[in-house]
Amino acid sequence: MSTESTHLTIFFFNIIFISTFEPSISIAASSPKFPCSGPRYSSFPFCNTSLPITSRARSLVHLLRLHEKISLLSDNASAVPRLGIPAYEWWSESLHGIATNGPGVSFNGSIPSATSFSQVILMAAAFNRSLWSSVGSAIAVEASLSSVYHSYGRFCMTSTGQ
């Protein structure tokens, strides 16, 4: 095993070790449903929508502690109560559309679900670019009309661009 490989192994072991023994953070009632909601949290630079996205992202990364950054690396990210960031789950990459994206997706109630498209490898085998474009357009329409809110999407941007 090379020295570089050994260092990488130790590095990743340390990340896992730190995240395992991280203090348990409960999601208290004081944690907002969405980031940047409420006067206590809206003053953070990453909440200022007039700033460029790169500035906002840098601000957030700078404010996060190491164990918080590590806890945000999985599909079920922990809350960061001191920054007003609620827990969220971004379980799926929408390879079938937004139909069954797991617990991170909630429809507005009037529509129970959306179209489940074929797996992308099957659509790719069709070598039909207009098919890919049509599926992408349909997913976009369903997402915007169904009021699908991924919690990470609400944090960064909704279909209205806010």
Report the pLDDT value the prediction gives residue 159, as an integer from 0 to 100. Answer: 43
| Predicted pLDDT at 12 | 60
Render 26-82 in DSSP notation, one character per residue: ---TTS-SSTT-SHHHHTSGGG-TTS-HHHHHHHHHHHS-HHHHHHTSSSEEPPBGG
147: DSSP letter? T
pLDDT at position 26: 42
**Measured between alpha carbons, how far is 53 from 47 in angstroms, rounded to an integer?**
10
Looking at residue 155, its pLDDT comes to 40
Kindly report the pTM of this predicted structure: 0.46
Nearest Cα to 27, choosing from 101, 105, 88, 74? 88
Tens-place pLDDT, residues 56-65: 999 999 999 9
Q: What residues of the chain score a pLDDT lower than 70? A: 1-32, 90-113, 145-162
Q: Is 88 exposed, middle or buried (0-12, 13-18, 19+ CB in 10 A)?
A: buried
Q: How many CA atoms are closer than 13 Å to the CA of 154, on its beta-carbon side?
A: 20
Q: What is the pLDDT of residue 161?
A: 43
Domain boundaries, the chain: 3-89, 102-156
Is the Cβ–Cβ distance between 41 and 35 less than 8 Å?
A: yes
pLDDT of the residue at 152: 42
Let me know the angle formed at the C-alpha of 142 by 31 and 98, rounded to the nearest 5 degrees. 60
Phi, psi of 9 (to 5 degrees): -60, -45
- SS3 assignment, position 119: coil
CB of 68 closer than 8 Å to CB of 82: no
Give me the pLDDT at residue 54, please: 92
